[in-house]
Structure 1
Amino acid sequence: MSEEQRRGSLSQVHVKGFRSLRDTTLELSSEVTVLAGANGSGKSNVLRALELIGQLPAGNIQETLLRWGGFSQQLHVAPREIDNADHIEIELWEKPREVIRGLVQNGYAVRLDEAANDESLLKEKFYYWDKASHSEPFSPDWGRGRKESRLTSPDLPFDDGTPENRVRMYVRPLIEGLQAFHFDDTSLNAPPLTSTLVSDNVELADDASNIAAILLHLRETERDAYDSIVWAVRGVAPFFDDFVLRPIGDSIQLRWKQKGARQVLPGNALSSGTLRYLCLSVLLNQPELPQTIVLDEPELGLHPLAISHFVELLRSAARGRSIVVATQSVTMLNQFSIDEVVIASRQAGATELHRPDASEYEDWLEDYTLGQLWETNVLYGGYPRFESGAPQ
């Protein structure tokens, strides 16, 4: 079976004990899922949970936890200490598959318990659900604890015919295809502005640190994609002419020219918003995209027109895959339908997620935009919820 045949789409993620996510489920029922919520509602924590899962196949869990402050800093802290979490659990399911005998669905769960040196001990489950024959999925016991995931363990071949490894054949590409991107750093030393190896051109890094190498590769091998990026940037910065992509030895750095000018400019001559939009344009115009893309407030620093152009790119890229974005921007929300929105709110110290019932807002949406309903709190969740302490 080819990798393309095995590649599925994420349908649901259930998180327990992670930061503000005491017991939270995110349903990915639309190609684009827009997480909207007030400051501190937990939008970013949902995205962090997805990002953590995406680190499993590469064996980067311990490194990621350390970078985030250690395992203990990721545990849910409740208003009452007795309710504090002592472990993290994340479960995900792919969208059901149609086979000869009916629908089947594969799932995966990981449990993280505290280990020495503020690291974690990791246990995993692989689920298989034959919905035509069983009312519940086959659920094995947790595997033995280890430091990193079994998803890429060389001692467990994928084709040995065991039920667990047959499921792993589907789960691995599902998780490998989950990637979070962060383009918020646009300082003078931002990752997209640094030199990178010309050979680092297979896929865009999560911080766009290899953007110059990617652009050069696209110009040489995928000219349509390259031209789309150039036109996208001109759409928000009409003075932009083209990139200047000339390696120096084995390295290359982002440079560009203005229309009508001969001077070659460094990447840091781009405004913060233009640089961020460039990163988003390169990501979404790549011929090969991750199956699930995660973006936290991608509209930051963008002009309203640029936000509109960005959403057009987003929708085009989302065909056949899942894109999850978090926002609290009225302009951003105006670009989406209510069926694509998930509201994040905070209650008793924990994040709650819900998709609004579109039928309840039909009359409102005849006269107002989705962003207006959000801004005025008609669409519940537009305003922060004040908490009185411990849950009753």
Structure 2
Amino acid sequence: MTVTRLEIAGYRSVKRLVLPVHPVTVVVGANGSGKTNLYRALYLLQAAAEGRLARTLAEEGGTPSVVWAGPREHKKPVRMTVGVTLEDELAYELSCGIVPSDPSEPGTLFLLDPEVKEEHLWALSGGRRAVLMERKDRTAFLRDSEGKRVTFPTQLWSAESVLDQLAEPQRFPRLSELQRTLKAWRFYHQFRTDLEAPARQPQVGVRTTALAHDGRDLAAALATIYEIGDRRGLEKALDDAFPGAELQVEAPQGRFSLALRMPGLSRPMAASELSDGTLRYLCLLAALLSPRPPPFVALNEPETSLHPDLLGPLSRLLVEAAKHSQIWVTTHAEPLAEAVSRRTGYEPVRLVKHGGATEVEGPASSEE
């Protein structure tokens, strides 16, 4: 199920933002404009579906650090809200606040945890919303497969989503469908290319249809594309970026390693010898040419370490990958954003800061 709309409120620099989401959405802006905050908001939805919401927010500094820090309307509770519309059929919204402090009650040590205040799942039809799930604090009701209203039988854990706490897919098929969709998304924002990066060293490998978030299983992922994926597509994309290059993957005793043979060199270059940009581009190839493409792929600043000459091949790679997956990209690189826009017809989402708040400029804006 593709994402058609993203809504964020009260999250980091985003006071309120509503965006249409296309088959390829490129978000561009200067440092500090809030690009990564949109990426992280999407990532929070997957974390909620997997039962990692509290941990993910803690790694960002905790809920008190991620809620909107700018001026607020008086007496309004401190909340952060993220919501998506899928296929114009389902809409899901998650709203969290800070763990309350009550002078009359013993304190808690877990002050970084979120307090899930509300969750909603709606079925959309003809401009109307039918409630499939509604949560208020630790209680929730749902509509089962027969349309009957069912109250959640136990008190919900306040730091995690209903999605991770309800395990009856046959009874609540739309809720289960949403969870499966969010869990299938893939996010890439920290490919390791340092000298000690696992991708530079031989690694025990298995058939790998989804590259790890840090690229540690790169050699096995590329070998998997060669064996059961689009080998010709991989070779074409490699030649587009590095004309005349030939990828080599070896696996003695099941330990996978890769090398790149370049024109004019008498021997292949081992992964340990490749530049950061070359290794990162190979990771992008493995991520975007997966034999089992996910419904949604998000890339945060994929142009990092890449030579400007690689932005053209990268734009073509992104558009090709969009035939099988919905693509979300945040980038500093205007040339990359423009190249993708020329090939897809979708205008980049350009972010700016006004009064400390992230806003959208241009025709892509649908802020409310």
TM-score scaled to structure 1, two decimals?
A: 0.75
2:309 corresponds in structure 1 to 305
CA distance in 2, matches of 1:124, 1:67: 22
Pair 321,294 (structure 1): closer, same or farther in 2 beyond 3 Å: same
CA distance in 1, matches of 2:191, 2:321: 20
Residue 142, structure 1, aligned to residue 136, structure 2: yes
Q: How does 1:294-333 map to 2 (within 5 A)?
A: 294-319=298-323, 321-333=325-337
CA distance in 1, matches of 2:336, 2:33: 18
2:169 corresponds in structure 1 to 158
Residue 25, structure 1, aligned to residue 18, structure 2: yes
Q: Which moved more, 1:283-292 or 1:74-83?
A: 74-83
Deviations 1:326-371 (A, max 9, x none): 123232133114633112111121111255179xxxxxxxxxxxxx
- Amino acid corresponding to residue 199 of structure 1 in structure 2: V
Residue 343, structure 1, aligned to residue 337, structure 2: no
Structure 1 residue ranges without an equivalent (≥5): 1-7, 97-104, 359-392
1:364 corresponds in structure 2 to none
- Is the contact between residue 71 and residue 120 of structure 1 (CA under 8 Å) also seen in structure 2? yes
- Is the contact between residue 192 and residue 215 of structure 2 (CA under 8 Å) also seen in structure 1? no
CA distance in 1, matches of 2:128, 2:57: 36
The alignment partner of 1:313 has SS state of helix
CA distance in 2, matches of 1:191, 1:11: 36
Give 1:21 deviation, angstroms. 1.1
Residue 229, structure 1, aligned to residue 234, structure 2: yes
Q: Which moved more, 1:117-126 or 1:165-174?
A: 117-126
Residue 240, structure 1, aligned to residue 249, structure 2: no
Q: How does 1:64-75 map to 2 (within 5 A)?
A: 64-75=56-67
1:380 corresponds in structure 2 to none
Residue 10, structure 1, aligned to residue 3, structure 2: yes
TM-score scaled to structure 2, two decimals?
A: 0.80
The structure with the greater share of residues assigned to strand is: 2
Pair 351,89 (structure 1): closer, same or farther in 2 beyond 3 Å: same
CA distance in 2, matches of 1:120, 1:322: 29
CA distance in 1, matches of 2:205, 2:289: 19
Q: Which moved more, 1:193-202 or 1:111-120?
A: 193-202
- Is the contact between residue 348 and residue 364 of structure 2 (CA under 8 Å) also seen in structure 1? no
CA distance in 2, matches of 1:181, 1:94: 21
The alignment partner of 2:304 has SS state of coil
- Is the contact between residue 301 and residue 332 of structure 2 (CA under 8 Å) also seen in structure 1? yes
Give 1:243 deviation, angstroms. 1.8
Pair 333,212 (structure 1): closer, same or farther in 2 beyond 3 Å: same
- Amino acid corresponding to residue 10 of structure 1 in structure 2: V
1:205 corresponds in structure 2 to 212
Residue in structure 2 matching 1:131, options 112, 119, 125: 125
- Is the contact between residue 249 and residue 256 of structure 2 (CA under 8 Å) also seen in structure 1? no
- Is the contact between residue 107 and residue 171 of structure 1 (CA under 8 Å) also seen in structure 2? no
Residue 269, structure 1, aligned to residue 273, structure 2: yes
Give 1:39 deviation, angstroms. 1.8
- Is the contact between residue 24 and residue 327 of structure 2 (CA under 8 Å) also seen in structure 1? yes
2:29 corresponds in structure 1 to 37
The alignment partner of 1:180 has SS state of strand
Pair 221,292 (structure 1): closer, same or farther in 2 beyond 3 Å: closer
- Is the contact between residue 196 and residue 210 of structure 1 (CA under 8 Å) also seen in structure 2? yes
2:49 corresponds in structure 1 to 57
The alignment partner of 2:128 has SS state of coil
Give 1:11 deviation, angstroms. 1.0
Give 1:262 deviation, angstroms. 6.6
Residue in structure 1 matching 2:90, options 88, 97, 106: 106
The alignment partner of 1:118 has SS state of coil
CA distance in 1, matches of 2:198, 2:315: 24
Pair 212,321 (structure 1): closer, same or farther in 2 beyond 3 Å: closer
Deviations 1:45-90 (A, max 9, x none): 1011111212223222222223222222212211579799733211
Deviations 1:86-133 (A, max 9, x none): 33211111122xxxxxxxx2121222233424122335534233424x
RMSD between aligned residues: 2.9
Residue 177, structure 1, aligned to residue 184, structure 2: yes
Structure 2 residue ranges without an equivalent (≥5): 100-109, 139-155
Deviations 1:22-65 (A, max 9, x none): 1112210x211111222211111101111121222322222222
CA distance in 2, matches of 1:85, 1:353: 25
Give 1:215 deviation, angstroms. 1.8
Give 1:264 deviation, angstroms. 5.3
Q: Which moved more, 1:117-126 or 1:255-264?
A: 255-264
- Is the contact between residue 76 and residue 84 of structure 1 (CA under 8 Å) also seen in structure 2? no
The alignment partner of 1:151 has SS state of helix
Identity of aligned residues (%): 26
